[in-house]
Amino acid sequence: MSEKEWIVTVDDQDLHRLDEIVAELESAGLEVIRVLRSLGQVTGRTQTKDAVGGSAAEDSAPEPLAAVSGVVSVDAVQQYSIKPPDAEVQ
Amino acid sequence: MARYVVTFDTSDSAVLQDDAPGLLSSQGFSTETYFPRLGIGVVEGEPDQLESLSSRCREQNRPMSYTPELTYYAITDTAEPGFEDTSELTWGLQAIGIASAQQLGQAGAGVRVAVLDTGFDAAHPDFAARTIVTESFIDGEGPDDAHGHGTHCIGTACGPWQPETGPGYGVAPESEIYSGKVLGDDGTGSDTSILAGIDWALQNDCQVISMSLGADVREVHPPYVAAGRRALESGSLIIAAAGNNAQRSEGDPGFVGAPANSPHIMAVAAVDSQLRTADFSARSAPHDGGEIDLTAPGVDVYSAWLGEERHRSISGTSMATPHVSGIAALICGVSETRGEQLWQELVTHAAALEDEDPEDVGAGLATVPEPQDR
C-alpha cells in the first residue's frame, strides 16, 4: 500500500454545501485530513494498493474525487523545505 | 539576455583582426565591444546563441571560449554609501524608513500578523510582554521552534524597536503574533500543513499572512490560486518569499517559485545594504502572478534566534518577506486598509530603485509611508 495526499478545491458557488461534498469525497475514497472551511478546500489522502493480480479499479487515483460535483480541482500535495539553521542563505 | 565575454584563443593576428569579428557578426552579435588586439569581445545574447557561435568556431577551427561577464568593483570603492546596523536599528529598518512610524508611535497595534513557518520560541525574552497565539500543523510536533527560521521571521515582522540589548530589528512591535507551525523541526512541510495554516489565519481574521517558504517549482500550484484569492476576499494579504534559486554571480537569475508565483500572492525579492539585488534573489517569471512585486532587506538581516544565542544575522528572501509583512501591519494599523487595497498601498509606497531591473525588484523597495502620504 502506498499513500498519497491531495488538496481538493471546491467551487465558490458550492461552498454552502461543503459538508455534503466532504461526505461524497469520503465515499469516493478520500481519507479526510482537514476541512479548510475558510479556504473552501479539503486535504486528504488516498491509499493505492500495489497491483498484485488485483484490478486496476483498486487504484484510488483522484478521478473519482475530481468527478464529485462542486470540485474544481484535485492536486497532488507538494513538499516545501528551507535550509538548515546554520545555512548562510535561508 | 545576458552578457558574455568571448575570447578567441590564437596569436594569429589575421584571425583576430578579420575572422573573429566576421564570426561574431555572422551570428548576430555586435562587434562594438570587440578588441582585436586582445581577441576578446563582450556580447549580449542568449546561451543558445553563444552555443551556436561556439560550434561555428569549432567547424572553422577557430578556438573560442566564452563565460558570463562578471561585474568588478574597485576595491577602494567599498565605501559606497550603504546602510549598516547601528546600536539603535538594523540596516533593514533604516532602509525601509521605520523612522516615520517611530515618530508617530504607530507600531501596528491591533493588527494580527500570521507567520507560517517553523514555529516560534515563545520563551524569547524580547517577546515577554507580547500577545502571542501559537498553533502547530505538523503531526507529532508542538508549536515551538526547534529550527530558528520561524523565530527569526517573526522577529523581523513583529519584533521590538528597542530590545534590552542590541539594535531594534522588528517592523511592527505592537502587532499581535500568530505563529502557525507549518514547517517541521527539520525545515520541511507540505501543502497539507501550509493550507491548514492559511485557513487558521483566516479563521483568526489575520490581516497579514507572512510565508517565508517555497519550492523551486516554475508551475503555478492551483490550490494557492484559490487560497490567495479567497484570502484577499476575506481581507487577508498573503506575502511570500520569491525564492533563493538565483546565482547571479554565475549568470543564473533564477525564477519565482511556488507559492509566491501565484497571482493573488505577493512575491518579495531581496536586496543587500547597498540596495542591490542579492545574488540568490529570484527574478520574475514570465506568467501571470510570476512577477516580483516588491523587494526588501534580505542580506545579513539581524533578528531573533533560539536559546542563549538570542539573535543571529542570516540572509534570504525569507528575511525580506517579513519586512514587507511588518510594513503591511503598520499601514493596516493606521488606516485599517486590508486585502487588495493593502496590496495597492504597499506597491504605491515602494521606493523605485533606479539601478535595478523591475524584473528583479518589482515596484521597488518596500517602505513605511511618510505621515503626509497617509
pLDDT in tens, B251-306: 999 999 999 999 999 999 999 999 999 999 999 999 999 999 999 999 999 999 99
A15 and chain B in contact, CB less than 8 A? no
How many whole angstroms separate alpha carbon B325 and alpha carbon B172?
A: 9
**Residue B73 within a domain:** no
Cell, residue A62: 483522484
Q: Examine the pLDDT at B205 and tell me if it is beyond 60.
A: yes
Q: Examine the pLDDT at B130 and tell me if it is beyond 50.
A: yes
Q: Which of B85, B100, B117, B121 is catalytic?
A: B117
Are the CB atoms for B170 and B156 separated by under 8 Å? Answer: yes
User: B36 or B98: which carries more pLDDT confidence?
Assistant: B98
Q: Are residues B55 and B119 in the same domain?
A: no
CB contact under 8 A, A39 and B230: yes
pLDDT in tens, B9-67: 888 888 888 889 999 998 889 888 888 888 888 888 888 888 999 999 888 888 888 88
Q: Are residues B202 and B240 in the same domain?
A: yes
Q: Are residues B12 and B116 in the same domain?
A: no
Measured between beta carbons, the chain B residues lying within 8 angstroms of A39 are: 195, 198-199, 202, 226-227, 230-231
Q: Are residues B217 and B270 in the same domain?
A: yes
Q: Are residues B183 and B320 in the same domain?
A: yes
CB contact under 8 A, B199 and A34: yes
How many whole angstroms separate alpha carbon A54 and alpha carbon A51?
A: 5
Q: Does residue A45 sit in helix, strand or coil?
A: strand
Annotated catalytic residue B149: yes
Q: Examine the pLDDT at B6 and tell me if it is beyond 80.
A: yes
How sure is the predictor about B148, in pLDDT bands with cuts at 50, 70 and 90? Answer: very high
Q: Are residues B123 and B271 in the same domain?
A: yes
CB contact under 8 A, B189 and A81: yes
Transcribe B228-256 into DSSP letters. HHHHHHTT-EEEEE--S--BGGGTB----
Q: Are residues B59 and B126 in the same domain?
A: no
ipTM > 0.90 for the complex: no
- Count the domains in chain B: 2
**Residue B75 within a domain:** no
Class for the domain spanning A2-76: alpha beta
How sure is the predictor about B162, in pLDDT bands with cuts at 50, 70 and 90? Answer: very high
Whole-number Cα distances in Å, B245 to B213, B225, B323, B374: 12, 22, 20, 36
Give the per-residue pLDDT at B138.
97
> What is the pLDDT averaged over residues B244-250?
96
Q: Are residues B187 and B48 in the same domain?
A: no
Give the per-residue pLDDT at B318.
97
Q: Which residues constitute the domain of residue B18?
A: 2-68
How many whole angstroms separate alpha carbon B59 and alpha carbon B115?
A: 57
Annotated catalytic residue B279: no
**Residue B78 within a domain:** no
B149 and chain A in contact, CB less than 8 A? yes
Instruction: State the average pLDDT for chain B.
Output: 93
How many whole angstroms separate alpha carbon B350 and alpha carbon B363?
A: 6
> What is the pLDDT averaged over residues B227-249?
97
How many whole angstroms separate alpha carbon B166 and alpha carbon B214?
A: 31
**Residue B124 within a domain:** yes
Are the CB atoms for B315 and B301 separated by under 8 Å? Answer: yes
Q: Are residues B175 and B308 in the same domain?
A: yes
How sure is the predictor about B72, in pLDDT bands with cuts at 50, 70 and 90? Answer: low
Any idea where the domains of chain A sit in the sequence?
2-76
Measured between beta carbons, the chain A residues lying within 8 angstroms of B316 are: 83, 89-90
Q: Are residues B41 and B157 in the same domain?
A: no
Give the per-residue pLDDT at A60.
46
Annotated catalytic residue B355: no
Are the CB atoms for B15 and B54 separated by under 8 Å? Answer: no
Tally Cβ neighbours within 10 Å of residue B106: 19
Q: Examine the pLDDT at B233 and tell me if it is beyond 50.
A: yes
Q: Looking at chain A from residue 70 to 89, which residues have their Cβ under 8 Å from any Cβ of chain B?
A: 72-73, 75, 77-85, 87-89
3-state secondary structure B294-356: EEEECCCEEEECCHHHCEEEEECHHHHHHHHHHHHHHHHHHHCCCHHHHHHHHHHCCECCCCC
pLDDT in tens, B166-190: 999 999 999 999 999 999 999 999 9
